[in-house]
Chain A
Amino acid sequence: MDYSQFLYMPQELGLLIVFLFVFLFDTFLPKRYQSSLPVLTSVLFGIFTLCNYFMLSRGVAFNGMFENTAATFMIKVILNIGVLIVLIQSIKWANSEDMAVRRGEFYELLLLTVLGMYLMISARHFLLFVIGLETASLPLAALVAFHKKRYESHEAAAKYMFTAVFSSAIFLMGLSFVYGLYGSLYFNDIAYQVMNNTSAMLVVALAFVIAGIGFKLSLVPFHLWTADVYQGAPTPVTSYLSVISKGAAAFAFMVVLVQVFGAAYSKVWEWMLYAIIVLTITLGNLFAIRQRNIKRFLAFSSISQAGYIMLGVIGGNELGLASLMFYVLVYIFSNLAAFGVAFAIEQQSGKVSIDDYNGLYKTNPWLSFTMMLAMFSLAGIPPFAGFFSKFFIFASALECGETSIYILVLIALINTIISLYYYLLVVKAMFISPDECSIARFRSSCGERVAMIVCTFGVILTGIVSCIYTFLVEAAKDGMSMFGLLN
């Protein structure tokens, strides 16, 4: 075996090194230094994220099972930024007494899931893909259960575990059909064969595959676990679940559908995805209106956001891939800002209801300002980044010019109005409601503040600084052309 192949996966190796360091520190560091572990991990991961700059390598390894393109590189960098923000956010939480013995585990499990996502993103063979998928989702169940003394946390973990396993099973079922049809699990091989042969069996197979990944992305009708898990899990884990694992799954979903089964687009999966998008956006929005718990609220809003991300997939072109990555980046900033604020408040006062936010502006202006930016960005209001990401994702979906897609985009646009309503409800609570605020003035911890500042700048600048999007489009072109279809 040619070991130099490992050099084609620099990001994975780098992450592994970070992981090993954290593991060693956790095991061998004397007890009194243990509390420096969160900061240490954040710093290490930060260095790793910066080093990513030098890690762009394009190439195929392990007989074509693994491939790095500019697009996979970029999405990994985007995820890294998100993970870094989550890590910084949770420094204070990880240092709380309750966490004392399990601090190390939290970081090790978290980093492991990131590694799984990397593999899933770069996989060019379904076996590797499944390994990545499992590595990414099973440790998360343990993370969800991290609040040892709260039964909601355990309930959430059980729910997450069952759905994760169940969806994997369905996904594997679909794969077995695919294997039966084409006799191979290499993406390349399947893509070629799909061009010549789309049997009725493929419809069934793809239905299973879509359902399997749909669980991870919490697309309707596979979303039922989302709200409970988001509510029960510790908030850093929730924010991680809602942005990082969703972003990775969205990218992988696009790769599978567009690159592997692209030839079966109009016959097989376009209408499936069409229906799923309409349902996801609409139901996610309608349920979000009624939520009073901020975490459940963000859960349903993230369901509908996933629907918007899928518009990039249905476009199925370079612009779509670029817009998807851009959307994920913007979504990371805006959602993590929202979760950051919710987390800081929860840490401080234990309040999680939107009604408790009434009059927050009077006591904590900066927190409410950050929250407002996040809400505006999620709702797609210019000049914040969310507007640009929504515009681009709609533009990419419309590029093919079919009337049905125009209708789809119109539905999505009408839904943005509904979503604007409930995002504004939060803004209203903070700024307009006359009540005395039940949350006292407080200073959030240093880590939380750093994370929020990063997110705020991200929300404001990502859209206006146009080179980011241009760069992603270049990366997406590379990502689409490297793939076997065009050879």
Chain B
Amino acid sequence: MLGGLALCKNIKQVRAVATVGATALMALAIYLVIAFLNLRAAGNDAEMLFTEGALTWFEPLNIKLALGVDGISVVMIVLSAFIVFAGVFASWKMDPLPKEFFMWFCLLSTGVFGFFISIDMFTMFMFYEVALIPMYLLIGVWGSGNKMYSAMKLTLMLMGGSAFLMLGILGIYYHSAPEGGQLTMNILEIAQNDAVPHSWQYFLFPMTFVGFGVLGAMFPFHTWSPDGHASAPTAVSMLHAGVLMKLGGYGCFRIAIFLMPFAANELAWIFLTLTGISVVYGAFSACVQTDLKYINAYSSVSHCGMVLFAILMLNTTAMTGAVLQMLSHGLMTALFFALIGMIYGRTHTRDIRKMGGLMRIMPFLGVGYVIAGLASLGLPGLSGFVAEMTIFVGSFQHADMFHRVFTIVACCSIVITAVYILRVVGKLLFGAVQDEHHKTLTDAEWHERLSTITLILAVAAIGCFPNFFSSIITEAAEPIMKLFA
């Protein structure tokens, strides 16, 4: 659980420390899962575990350093640990200023881990912003293409979201207890009190949902995402698409839906429409892009839209699907971006029109790309299928017209996904070699292979043993979704 803080110490020397840190982090994350499961097996059925030892931080505002995890945050932490691990290896040859790069990278991951383990709104919000700001420099300094513009756009849009969020959080705080009660920032206590007046929920729910939705790339606030991802260096794209965008989804249900169920129920249709649009729109946009990173970024918009879409269905099955989708999308996008980074590092172009026949030249990367693509379009046996299946089953449980129509619309995105994935794979890997110069290129090196294999194994693990994950998640989703039963 303290893995997030363990990373802070990495700010010393470059690769060795980063590797040790990332490995330790992964070990800690796995240990956390085991400890968590043991406790559950021992019959501890509290909503959050490891909650003891909250430290009072700012007494006047009743801010505590409260930590705790439930099934959902546990799997998110595992996901983050995997991607950080893979990210370190993917950016093995970071030039210039490797030290600074890893420093910011660590700060970013600290923010991510801190966010997932906090159950106090203030610390959660703080870690959220801690995770955002390194992005500016990571993209600005080490990025490519139109990096200054993208970095600024990304930072400002995300910070704009967090401005709404801050107001939302303060609003919740001041309505967190019944008249005369002790106000609190603790999410569990607020949910227990259930004291936010309905009229305020109408105001605060959109604030928080939009605040987190910006990070979850909800239409129409998704425009930072393609530019940002396209300009960011490989490891940052991986971490950003893989983990940071999940912060949005996680925050949406942990704060917006969990604390304000009434408004969530009433206003879900607005946001369902928006996320429905982002699912389909993202997929269509990906079809017409020619830059590999843009294709993948738009596909992220579509997939992350799916996460929010499923969360808003407000039932346990869809919720489980949403978290599975976060996991699956996180891993496979990270895989995608890692591979794209490696290909780009060799061919120095990301334009699919200028590449072709890479399968023969670099078979390892080619196979990796195919696997990632298949996972993305939902081939059974890989993670994408499990997640999307659960989501659609869950959302079709709603008997009314509105939900069903939207489910069907969202289902269409699977077909569109297949279109753009197959188009890229065909063009990039199997077509004729476009550039004679490409024939001299080499295949992946050991650190690249390690990074790729880790992610592929994780993707396959979810695909083959979905029960293990979904049981952990469902257990955590149930108490939240009980609010809507």
A410-B167, A420-B155 known; A382+B126 contact, CB < 8 A: yes
14 A-B residue pairings within 8 Å (CB atoms): A382-B127, A391-B122, A392-B58, A406-B171, A409-B167, A410-B164, A416-B159, A417-B156, A424-B136, A427-B136, A431-B140, A431-B141, A432-B137, A470-B59
* B58 x A466 contact (CB < 8 A): yes
Q: Which residues of A contact B133 (CB under 8 A)?
A: 376, 381
Q: Which residues of A contact B136 (CB under 8 A)?
A: 424, 427
Tell me what chain A mostly uses at the interface: helix, strand, loop, or mixed: helix
C-alpha gap A319/B133 in the complex (Å): 28
Question: In the complex, which residues 148-201 of chain B have their Cβ closer than 8 Å to any Cβ of chain A?
Answer: 148, 151-152, 155-156, 159-160, 163-164, 166-167, 170-171, 173-174
Question: In the complex, which residues 44-94 of chain B have their Cβ closer than 8 Å to any Cβ of chain A?
Answer: 57-61, 63
Q: Which residues of B contact A376 (CB under 8 A)?
A: 133
Stretch of A24-32, A81-89, A395-403 that contacts chain B: A395-403
Question: In the complex, which residues 380-417 of chain A have their Cβ closer than 8 Å to any Cβ of chain B?
Answer: 381-383, 387, 391-392, 394-395, 398-399, 401, 406, 409-410, 413-414, 416-417
Question: In the complex, which residues 97-137 of chain B have their Cβ closer than 8 Å to any Cβ of chain A?
Answer: 122, 126-127, 129-130, 133, 136-137
4 closest Cβ pairs, A-B complex: A413-B163, A432-B140, A473-B60, A382-B126
Q: Which residues of A contact B203 (CB under 8 A)?
A: 406
- A421 contacts partner chain B, Cβ-Cβ < 8 Å: yes
* B159 x A420 contact (CB < 8 A): yes
C-alpha gap A183/B81 in the complex (Å): 71
Interface contact tally, CB-CB below 8 A: 81
Q: Which residues of B contact A469 (CB under 8 A)?
A: 58, 60
Q: Which residues of A contact B63 (CB under 8 A)?
A: 466
* A424 x B152 contact (CB < 8 A): yes
Query: A46-84 toward B: CB 8 Å interface, digit per residue (1/0)?
Result: 000000000000000000000000000000000000000
Question: In the complex, which residues 168-224 of chain A have their Cβ closer than 8 Å to any Cβ of chain B?
Answer: none
A383-B130, A401-B174, A466-B58 known; A417+B166 contact, CB < 8 A: no
Query: B338-382 toward A: CB 8 Å interface, digit per residue (1/0)?
Result: 000000000000000000000000000000000000000000000
Which B residues form the contact surface with A (CB < 8 A)? 57-61, 63, 122, 126-127, 129-130, 133, 136-137, 140-141, 147-148, 151-152, 155-156, 159-160, 163-164, 166-167, 170-171, 173-174, 203
* A387 x B122 contact (CB < 8 A): no
* A421 x B156 contact (CB < 8 A): yes
- A428 contacts partner chain B, Cβ-Cβ < 8 Å: yes
Most buried by B among A387, A398, A424: A424
Which A residues form the contact surface with B (CB < 8 A)? 319, 322, 376, 381-383, 387, 391-392, 394-395, 398-399, 401, 406, 409-410, 413-414, 416-417, 420-421, 424, 427-428, 431-432, 466, 469-470, 473
Q: Which residues of B contact A387 (CB under 8 A)?
A: 126, 129
* B160 x A417 contact (CB < 8 A): yes
* B159 x A417 contact (CB < 8 A): yes
A392-B61, A424-B136 known; A413+B167 contact, CB < 8 A: yes
Output the least CB separation between B445 and chain A (Å).
29
Output the least CB separation between B61 and chain A (Å).
6
- Measured CB to CB, the nearest residue on chain B to A400 is B174
A387-B129, A406-B171, A420-B159 known; A413+B166 contact, CB < 8 A: yes
Q: Which residues of A contact B166 (CB under 8 A)?
A: 391, 394, 413
* B129 x A381 contact (CB < 8 A): yes
Output the least CB separation between A265 and chain B (Å).
19
Output the least CB separation between A212 and chain B (Å).
32
Q: Which residues of B contact A395 (CB under 8 A)?
A: 61, 170, 173
Output the least CB separation between A362 and chain B (Å).
10
- Measured CB to CB, the nearest residue on chain B to A420 is B159
Output the least CB separation between A408 and chain B (Å).
11
C-alpha gap A399/B60 in the complex (Å): 12
Output the least CB separation between A41 and chain B (Å).
37
Kindly identify which residue among B141, B148, B156 contacts A420, using a CB–CB cutoff of 8 Å.
B156
Kindly identify which residue among B59, B129, B141, B170 contacts A432, using a CB–CB cutoff of 8 Å.
B141
C-alpha gap A399/B156 in the complex (Å): 28
Q: Which residues of A contact B141 (CB under 8 A)?
A: 431-432
* A414 x B160 contact (CB < 8 A): yes
Q: Which residues of B contact A383 (CB under 8 A)?
A: 126, 130
Most buried by B among A319, A399, A432, A473: A432
